[in-house]
Chains A and B, each alone.
Chain A
Amino acid sequence: MDNTIEITGLRKEYKGFTLDDVTFTVPRGYIMGLIGPNGAGKTTIVKLIMNLIRRDAGEVRVFGMDNLRHEPEVKARIGFVYDAPRFPEDLRLETIASAISAFYEKWDGRRFRNLLEEFQLSPRQVFKKLSHGMKMKFSLAIALAHDADLILMDEPTAGLDPVFRFDLLTKLRALIQDERKTVLFSSHITSDLERVADFVTFVHKGRLVFSAAKDDILETWGVVRVSGDGISPAEVPGARGFRRTEHSLGVLTSDIAAARGRFGASVVCDMASLEDIMFFISKGNAHV
């Protein structure tokens, strides 16, 4: 499988937070979701790919090229969408687009205009007059207009109403019909990722928890629920975290089949959603 992004041993140190030893790959032709609670390091990873911040250690290869040594060649093929679009607000959309389009050889003016039409945006509108959702769509139009091979998005659905989110996810699915295109987007809205992602990479407190096919995760991770003191978390095979309440215990496991085999019908074993996983790993007790 061809990889669009290869990240190895990535490290970035901040005063109160360190992203450390992050290694994963993004295969070409698929949608990968980068999930984790706020502050987990998702945005840091995206910024390190775009070299908006300098890495302290590790390697980032995009399209087979080091993202530092071949910065312009790599970025020419990336369409980026950030959580807060960073454009001068008092300008018209067409002015912003005109300034940016010059940088991309593959910019297609007609495609851009069609996208604006599809998103119901007028080129003569002033950026600050747009709603948050429309600003995101404009960013996306810019990102798609130059036939980017990688669409990189940082929290694109945050602050969007469900209708917009649906539109955005639909658009991403349509984009992937071309198997040369890849999408990596970070989000803490797990339901969006469950809907559209092919692969999921979970980061927590600056470290990688897993990077795998979404279906594999959703088919093997589960939550064991017991009331009272029936079971201790250590007894659950594949336990990855637990949460105690006054009367019950929930244990997250990466091998629900083994848990079912072990306990049978005496406990409740549910499949874990991405939200469950995020919840247990970030809020739960990891020391099983």
Chain B
Amino acid sequence: MTDQHVSQQRTEQQHEYDERSGFTHAVKRRLTSASWLAHSASVGLSSVSIGFVILFMVVLETGGDLTLFTRPLPMQIALTLPYLIGALTFGTTVGVLLAWRYRYWSLTTRIHQSVLALLGLVFSWQLTTLGFLPL
């Protein structure tokens, strides 16, 4: 192996290390970023809420009302989603409160996130009313 090969290999390793380190750093940075977590919670809240309704309706339509008793796996999955929605609503709401406290988003984004948190709260309230989410 020539010096040139060794040098090239070291450069590649260093590059790979830098990339990994950069990725790890980025993940760490995001996981400790209140604004990123709050934003992710609201995206998750929107996605999981819509996913829950779609999955629940599809299972009910394909399997009939009986699936509420038999609880096949897709129905079991659907019925666990309200708990996740409750947790994401909590995360979104806390994130919004922190955002208004520390002003880490623009005013428009803060209003948007506030609306989402409000929708999450009323959606969770209805899930409670319908028995999907025990108090």
Do they bind each other?
no
Residues in B lying within 8 Å of A, measured CB to CB: none
Residues in A lying within 8 Å of B, measured CB to CB: none
